[in-house]
A and B are shown apart, each in its own frame.
Chain A
């Protein structure tokens, strides 16, 4: 069973379009994250949610809007896609211990290519 699953795996679309990426985890974790990994492989946090509440919003353009309907799901909607949005987007989850960060488990990633 996949612990953190993302869909779709690949997303190819035109500039200006709107798209969504979905993420689900079955690990019972309280906290979920979205990361962007650019072409230089640098992995940078975008958002984190703890029990459906936004914890981290890391100076991401407001074209990006996360939504967490429940603690097992965290979706990412992107409006007006730009060329610079091309990257691999990873969803991750971890337990919440209220203090010390626990290991994060990553999904397989969504490779977004903007034409």
Chain B
């Protein structure tokens, strides 16, 4: 069974601090990893994709991938109230589909 696990939260972070979201997955064959942000009542929108070990930075967002330890994380620097949302981790297990985690609800406290 291919699984993606996330802490459901809620995760509360003060405005301006770093929010750290973690995701673990069950199969080392995994090739592609994605972070999506979903506001309440809205559709998931892509934040980051990462395909190889290490860090990938895009603005205030950094994705970190460690295939040996089977985890991928998302760091949000200088957190803003507009970052309050549910963050979904998605993994491609090489089976032509994405498997999503249950999401981590993030709240940025002004």
Residues on A lying within 8 angstroms of B by beta carbon are 33, 40-45, 48, 55-56, 58, 90, 99-109
CB distance from B26 to the nearest CB of A (A): 16
B92 & A103 in contact (Cβ 8 Å cutoff): no
Residues of B within 8 A of A (CB): 31-32, 34, 38, 42-46, 49, 51, 86, 88, 92, 96-100, 102-103
Instruction: Given A55-B96, A109-B43, verify A100-B51 contact (CB < 8 Å).
Output: yes
Closest 5 CB pairs of A and B: A101-B92, A106-B43, A101-B32, A43-B100, A103-B46
Question: When the two chains form their complex, are residues B102 and A106 in contact, meaning their CB atoms are under 8 A apart?
Answer: no
B43 is contacted by which of A44, A55, A90 (Cβ under 8 Å)? A90
User: B100 — nearest CB in chain A belongs to which residue?
Assistant: A43
Contact A42 B92 (CB under 8 A): no
**Cβ-defined partner of A42 (8 Å) among B44, B46, B97, B100:** B100
Contact A100 B31 (CB under 8 A): yes
The complex places the Cα of A103 from the Cα of B92 at a distance, in Å, of 10
A103-B46, A108-B43 known; A44-B34 Cβ under 8 A? no
> What 6 additional pairs, Cβ within 8 angstroms, besides A100-B31, A100-B51?
A41-B103, A44-B100, A48-B96, A101-B32, A103-B34, A104-B98
Distance in Å from the Cβ of B66 to the closest Cβ of chain A? 18
Q: Is the CB of A106 within 8 A of B45?
A: yes
Please, which residue of chain A has its CB at the minimum distance from the CB of B86? A41
* Closest residue of A by beta carbon distance from B92: A101
Q: Which residues of A contact B99 (CB under 8 A)?
A: 45
Q: Which residues of A contact B46 (CB under 8 A)?
A: 103-105
